[in-house]
Amino acid sequence: MDCLFCKIVSGEIPSTKVYEDETVFAFKDIEPQAPVHILIIPKKHITSAADITAENSSVVAHIFEVAAKIAKQEKLDDGFRIVTNCGDSAGQSVKHLHFHLMGGREFTWPAG
């Protein structure tokens, strides 16, 4: 499958790895929107949040455990934001499920 993030998981495309285990990979966003901007993804391809099912949802829970761990490592004690863009109108540019973990600055709400 011609998927950018599958290629990052396999190492075919280089990335700055922050965390890896059996099911999850995390790396620095190439165009950071905050002092800390890390993408956390399932290693196994899931296209978007719209494709989460009873069969594959356990990796999402694990991603949030990993996010909390990374947030502590990055000392984001004041707060952080986790975002997933789903589909074109939300601005999803890479069609492999990913969670943006962003911190180190103030955020506004609602986003966009």
- Do residues 106 and 47 make contact, with C-beta atoms less than 8 angstroms apart? no
Does 98 help bind Zn ion (rule: CB under 5 A)?
A: no
Total residues binding ligand AMP (CB under 6 A)? 12
Q: Quick one: which segment of 53-61, 66-74, 86-94, 103-111 binds ligand AMP (CB under 6 A)?
A: 86-94
Does 48 help bind ligand AMP (rule: CB under 6 A)?
A: no
Q: Among all residues, whose Cβ is closest to Zn ion?
A: 3
Identity of the residue numbered 103: G
Q: Which one of residues 15, 19, 29, 45 is an interface residue with Zn ion (CB under 5 A)?
A: 45
Does 34 help bind ligand AMP (rule: CB under 6 A)?
A: no
Does 15 help bind ligand AMP (rule: CB under 6 A)?
A: yes
Residues annotated as part of the active site: 98
User: What is the SS3 assignment for 3-69?
Assistant: CHHHHHHHCCCCCCEEEECCCEEEEECCCCCCCEEEEEEECCCCCCHHHCCCCCCHHHHHHHHHHHH
Among 107, 111, 103, which residue's Cα sits nearest to residue 38? Answer: 103
Q: Which one of residues 11, 12, 22, 30 is an interface residue with ligand AMP (CB under 6 A)?
A: 30
